[in-house]
Amino acid sequence: MMIKHILKKAANFVGISSKRGTTFVSFVTPLTEICKHIPLDTIIEFGPGHSTQIFLQHAPNTKILSFETDIKWYNTYKDKFDPDQVNVIYKKPGWDLKEIYAYGENFSLIFVDGGDRLSALEVAYDLIGDVGLVFLHDAHREEYEPGIHKYPYVYCPERHSCILTRNKALLETLKTAVPPDYSCNCQYCSSPERRAYFSQYIS
């Protein structure tokens, strides 16, 4: 987890998104396109960092709730952003994600890239209602399949990310706004087993 945060902090420019052979930044291009083409009013993310910078740069009018379970990184980021726009919230490891319900509903986007992702996907299903979407990074991992299948509409713009929604019209908009790129041949997605697994999400 610490390594991941270090990479997020170091990757403070969007140009790194095209780097091949790593999954840490593979979300940058599709996430940036979402910000450019999909109206985003409220966002939830698990862990502040590079994703926060993308949101602020490309969706400057959005409000962000960022949950962090590492006190060191919470202290690093809690005063880094405008508090009127980004609310960095500390939660102890193992916290009940259903506590997020107290912060509202119908969120535009929930970015899942850490922590208990299956629990996050379950809670996110309720939080986005019929208007929002969920962005799951590292979706090539088979253990997240039950969470992915909870959603009626799935679009994978690249081999390590899934965009999930309950809104069919939003799905079609996403397909136009975020062109797919399945050219990655990194060690995490290039095995025949992983290719066979992920092919179910590629139309």
Lowest mean pLDDT among 19-33, 110-124, 176-190: 19-33
The encoded tokens of residue 104 equal: 């509202």
List, as one string, the DSSP characters of the chain.
-HHHHHHHHH--SGGGGG-SS-STTTTHHHHHHHHHHS--SEEEEES-SHHHHHHHHH-TT-EEEEEE--HHHHHHHTTTS-TTTEEEEE--TT--GGGGGGG-S--SEEEE-SSSHHHHHHHHHHHTTTT-EEEEESTTSGGGHHHHTTSSEEEEEETTEEEEES-HHHHHHHHHHS--------TTT-SHHHHHHHGGG--
Lowest mean pLDDT among 8-12, 36-40, 142-146, 162-166: 8-12
Q: What is the pLDDT of residues 151-195, one digit of tens each?
A: 999 999 998 899 999 999 999 999 999 999 988 888 888 788 878
In this prediction, residue 6 carries a pLDDT of 33
In this prediction, residue 51 carries a pLDDT of 94
Describe the strand order of the beta sheet including 109-112 as a list of residue ranges: 86-90, 63-68, 42-46, 109-112, 133-137, 161-165, 153-158
Domain coordinates in residue numbering, the chain: 21-201
pLDDT band for 142, please (50, 70, 90 cuts).
confident
User: What class is the 21-201 domain?
Assistant: alpha beta
Q: What is the pLDDT of residues 44-102, one digit of tens each?
A: 999 899 999 999 999 999 999 999 999 999 999 999 999 999 999 999 999 999 999 99
In this prediction, residue 1 carries a pLDDT of 40
pLDDT band for 24, please (50, 70, 90 cuts).
low
